[in-house]
Amino acid sequence: MPPVTATFRFYEELNDFLPPPRRKQAFSVACAEAATAKHMIEALGVPHTEVELILVNGESVGFGHRLRDGDRVAVYPRFESLDVLPLLRVRPVPLREAQNGVRFLADAHLGGLARLLRMAGFDTRYDNHMDDAEIAALAEAEARTILTRDLELLKRRNVTHGCFVHALRPMAQLQEVAERLDLARLARPFSRCLECNVPLRAVDKAEVWERLPPAVRAGQTTFRRCEACGRVYWPGSHWRRMRAALGAALPGNGALADQAVRE
């Protein structure tokens, strides 16, 4: 079989995965025998979970498209406002609109982000003892979007939805993920247990009286409890600090805005 050379051009944030000499410009590479678009995109360093649209010679194709000599390949990330549904070939719906986009699985290095996502009300699984194969299998079984800083994890064949997190600090990570997946409008802050990931239930003070510190008994009237671990939550000083932090990371969230107005 004669050698195949294709020209690639990556757009927007996908350039962050490339070495500097290949960013924001077209470049030609020799392709493996019978290489598919997915194989070459990931061989060049970009996880397939970050890709929303592939054009080969101007025609939209799927990940399994076999590359031919002289092909010109344009690779695009998630589109924020442009409707690309008629062009999609790599997945049934745009990344931003995927139904599993609000159910997450954070890998071992993102425990702080997992806790913040739970605080914002998002169903987020986290177990720092799972290896990559277990994470990929669980995400597939439960239709969860994987959050990770491990590129190789996102390249696994059975991973369909994932997000590479660039930021290093948890609050910056939350803001990054929220912006990329348009989470602000979907957040339900302080509705989920930070430890168990279980939705909280509103309870009367009498139901949790024995578990409250004296100062809380005297000063608080609103309580929620986790039915899994029994933890009790109330809007104390820590709650107010975290509400302000979430408000900065999730601008435009109606629940956070309403809470600020009431105070």
DSSP character at residue 199:
B
Q: What is the pLDDT of residue 33?
A: 83
pLDDT in the model for residue 249: 87
Report residue 149 as tokens. Answer: 């800083």
Instruction: Give the burial string for 6-45 (b: 16+ CB within 10 Å, else e).
Output: bebbbeeebbebbeeebeeeeeeeebeeebbbbbbbbebe
One-letter amino acid of 18: L
Element (H, E) at 135: helix 132-142
Instruction: Return the amino acid letter for 147.
Output: L
- The pLDDT of residue 119 is 95
Q: Which residues have CB under 8 Å from 127's CB, separation 6+?
A: 108
Output the pLDDT for position 153: 96
pLDDT of amino acid 254 = 63
The secondary structure of the chain in percent helix, strand, coil, rounded to multiples of 5, reads 40, 20, 40
- Note the pLDDT of residue 163: 92
Distances (CA, A) of 247 to 122, 166, 193: 15, 21, 19
Q: Has this prediction a pTM greater than 0.85?
A: no
Give the end-to-end CA distance of the chain in Å, rounded to a whole number: 71
Query: According to the model, what pLDDT value does residue 260 have?
Result: 43
The reported pLDDT for the residue numbered 99 is 45
Contacts of 55 (CB under 8 A, 6+ apart): 61, 73, 74, 76
The pLDDT assigned to 64 comes to: 94
**pLDDT tens digits, one per residue of 78-120:** 865 545 455 655 666 666 555 444 899 999 999 999 999 999 9
Low-confidence stretches of the chain (pLDDT beneath 70): 1, 79-101, 254-263
Say what the pLDDT of residue 222 is.
Answer: 93
Cβ atoms of 18 and 43 within 8 Å: the answer is no
Per-residue model confidence (pLDDT) at position 102: 82
CB atoms within 10 A of CB 131: 10
For every residue of 50-98, DSSP letters joined together read G--EEEETTEEE-TTPBP-TT-EEEEE---SSS--GGG--SSSS-GGG-
